[in-house]
């Protein structure tokens, strides 16, 4: 199956299953890439609101 086909299939999954897939992919990257794990931890631990993004803004960024 091609990446294009995977993307098309994922677009038709229910939102909960899409989120589960995102979590799965992130967990794979965390386990395979120590640098990615460190960057994710820094982002999660960031308490400065200036560095945060609203969920609606994030959706707009990736839906355009």
Q: pLDDT digit string (tens) for 10-62?
A: 999 999 999 999 999 999 998 998 898 888 889 889 999 998 888 888 888 87
CA distance 62 to 44: 20
In angstroms, the Cα distances linking 58 to 28, 45, 61, 64 are: 22, 19, 5, 10
Residue 57 structural domain: 3-63
Quote the number of domains for the chain: 1
pLDDT value at residue 11: 95
Query: The whole model's pTM is what?
Result: 0.61
């Amino acid at each position: 199956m091609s990446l294009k086909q995977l993307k098309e299939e994922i677009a038709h999954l229910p939102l909960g299953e899409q989120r589960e897939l995102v979590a799965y992919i992130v967990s794979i990257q965390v386990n395979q890439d120590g640098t990615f794990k460190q960057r994710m931890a820094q982002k999660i631990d960031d308490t400065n609101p200036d560095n945060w993004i609203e969920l609606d803004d994030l959706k707009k960024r990736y839906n355009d």
